[in-house]
């Protein structure tokens, strides 16, 4: 976030005060590697963003429980009412029945506590986002790592959620991202310390190959997609398969009929270095966090 961002037309707009609150939240001192900020539900996030705006992430609970537009509007309104009642959002139009004020005639305004206000802004204004979608027999979980390059360092807002629709937000230093992501891709099993030479399989033959059969036995499959806000680079994408204390990395190369899928077991150190390089490559020009070798 090297300068005040300009959200797309389908996203909320933010004031200078909003950006300052978000910056203060992002750059606060960290006591440990990861600091928990807030937990919000699908419908609370939709209420904070504004029901008229497209959701930034999947909202699995709302999609399952309130599939229609009217029902989504209802659960979103109920979520906002709940946040106002709990005091984490304040409204200028809440009537106090003890008084004879015509509050309903005032212009509506909503103000959230800094943790909510800052989180809502940071989700929409990062330099890049790394999206991890993990699939296991227990279902699908998501990790959104919002990357900010500021004053020569990297800060990350991490959003993690699953089908229950509870979004947990954490703040961490960029150096902690590889370790946290490696733990996320398979919390039940670790990663080995051995690299193996990758094998290449033509994409057209991959589905029936022994390599695909072996990967199908993995305990967890995590797809990684890295998107830059500026859109300066093509999206980075790869897939990680974990199981038996081993992690296999699958990447795709080539185009059309020449497309191949390259698969090989990677060690912790190799995967950490890959993730560090991916994060460094998202730095906007002039941010001070670019890879010095570039």
Q: What is the pLDDT of residue 102?
A: 54
Q: Which of 121, 98, 106, 95 is nearest to 25 (CA)?
A: 121
Q: Interior CA angle at 33 toward 31 and 37, to 5°? A: 70
Please, which pLDDT band fits residue 230 given cuts at 50, 70 and 90?
low
> Residue 136: is its pLDDT beyond 60?
yes
Would you kindly state where each structural domain of the chain is located, as residue ranges?
Answer: 15-29+41-124, 174-294
Average pLDDT value over all residues in the chain = 87
Confidence class of residue 4 from pLDDT cuts 50, 70 and 90?
A: very low
CA 29 – CA 31 distance, rounded (Å): 7
Task: Name the 3-class secondary structure at 139.
Answer: strand
Tell me: the pLDDT tens digits for 250-262? 999 998 888 999 9
pLDDT band per the 50, 70, 90 thresholds, residue 292? very low
pLDDT of residue 71: 94
Residues 174 and 147: their CA atoms lie apart, in Å, by 8
Cβ atoms 12, 56 nearer than 8 A: no
Looking at residue 6, its pLDDT comes to: 40
For the record, the structure tokens of 47 come out as 């209420």
CA 55 to chain CA centroid, Å, is 12
Identify the pLDDT of residue 108. 44
Phi, psi of 119 (to 5 degrees): -65, -45
Q: What's the pLDDT tens digit per position in 64-100? A: 999 999 999 999 999 999 999 988 888 755 556 666 6
């Amino acid at each position: 976030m090297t300068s005040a961002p300009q959200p797309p037309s389908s996203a909320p707009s933010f004031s200078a005060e909003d950006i300052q609150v978000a910056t203060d939240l992002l750059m606060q001192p960290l006591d440990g590697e990861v600091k928990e900020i807030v937990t919000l539900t699908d419908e609370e996030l939709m209420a904070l963003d504004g029901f008229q705006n497209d959701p930034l992430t999947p909202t699995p609970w709302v999609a399952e429980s309130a599939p229609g537009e009217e029902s989504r509007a209802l659960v979103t309104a109920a979520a906002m009412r709940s946040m106002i009642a709990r005091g984490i959002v304040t409204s200028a139009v809440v009537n106090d029945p003890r008084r004879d004020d015509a509050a309903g005639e005032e212009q509506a305004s909503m103000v959230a506590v800094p943790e909510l206000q800052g989180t809502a802004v940071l989700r929409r204004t990062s330099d890049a986002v790394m999206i991890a979608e993990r699939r296991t027999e227990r279902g699908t979980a998501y990790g959104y790592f919002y990357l900010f390059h500021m004053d020569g360092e990297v800060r990350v807002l991490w959003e993690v959620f699953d089908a229950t629709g509870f979004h947990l937000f954490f703040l961490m230093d960029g150096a902690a991202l590889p370790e946290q992501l490696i733990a996320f891709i398979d919390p039940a099993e670790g990663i080995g310390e051995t690299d193996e030479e990758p094998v290449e399989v033509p994409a057209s033959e991959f589905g029936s190959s022994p390599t695909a059969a072996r990967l199908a036995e993995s305990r967890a499959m995590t797809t990684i997609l890295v998107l830059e806000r500026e859109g300066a680079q093509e999206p980075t994408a790869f897939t990680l398969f974990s199981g038996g204390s081993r992690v296999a990395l699958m990447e795709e190369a080539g185009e059309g009929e020449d497309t191949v899928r390259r698969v090989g077991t990677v060690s912790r150190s190799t995967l950490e270095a890959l993730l560090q390089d991916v994060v460094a490559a998202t730095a906007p020009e002039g941010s001070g966090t670019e890879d010095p070798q570039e």
